Amino acid sequence: MGRHGARLRWVVALVSVTVAVLATVHRYVDREREWADGGDTLAVTVQASLPEPDGVAGAVVAFGWPEPADNVIGDPDRQSVVVRLRWSGPPRQGHYQVILLDGRVEPARVVQPYAGWDADGGTGSNWAGAYDVLAQRYPWLADTATREEPEGTFTTPSNVGAVGTRATADGSLVAVFRLAPGAVPLTDPSRLVVAFCYVERDGEVRWAKRVPVLPAD
């Protein structure tokens, strides 16, 4: 009986370990699938215009910016890009982060955010250390990675940033971005690309969706 009981305990332990390993593998596979396909349940469209510096306020109004746009000004030394995003999908807890990239270079360069507006009003730009995972998971987001300085410290380039908005089921966002000083003027909005990223309420990045940019109607 004692030998039989010991054998039974060994079998139960083996089964428990096997179940735990399978559960871990299953979670890993699910997470990898989410990194790759997490944004597939969401329909996102992006349009962009390339106004002259004195036409930025008019461009954001044309895209539906409902607040007074007098403080939305262009920079004569930096080309502005005005974008409008619309999305539809399941509601989620957390936020979407919008990153605009200039696809004329490789890897695509992040275009610095300037201002944004969604249904709740003005939304500023932001960045967090947790977003470093984006460069690790998506080669096309390599420019979001922190840089190691000669003295051994790590910094985030000044152009890197995102515009945040609540992860509602259906929503829209109007935002203004600025190319780097001295950048070659952009004439075709389709050379841009948007990273539409989902970040949970606790700040964990779940996935990023690559979205092409269309010229404004």
**What's the rounded mean pLDDT across residues 108-120?**
95
First-last CA distance in the chain? 82
Phi, psi at 135, each rounded to 5°: -70, -30
CA nearest 209: which of 194, 188, 192? 194
Banded pLDDT at 12 (limits 50, 70, 90)? low
**pLDDT reading at 187 higher than 90:** yes
**What's the rounded mean pLDDT across residues 65-89?**
91
For the beta carbon of residue 100, count every other beta carbon within 10 angstroms. 28
Taking the model in full, what pTM does it have? 0.88
Longest dimension (CA), the chain: 90
**What's the rounded mean pLDDT across residues 175-190?**
96
Banded pLDDT at 97 (limits 50, 70, 90)? very high
CA nearest 181: which of 57, 80, 108, 105? 80
- For β-strands 125-126 and 94-102, DSSP reports them as unpaired
**pLDDT reading at 19 higher than 60:** no
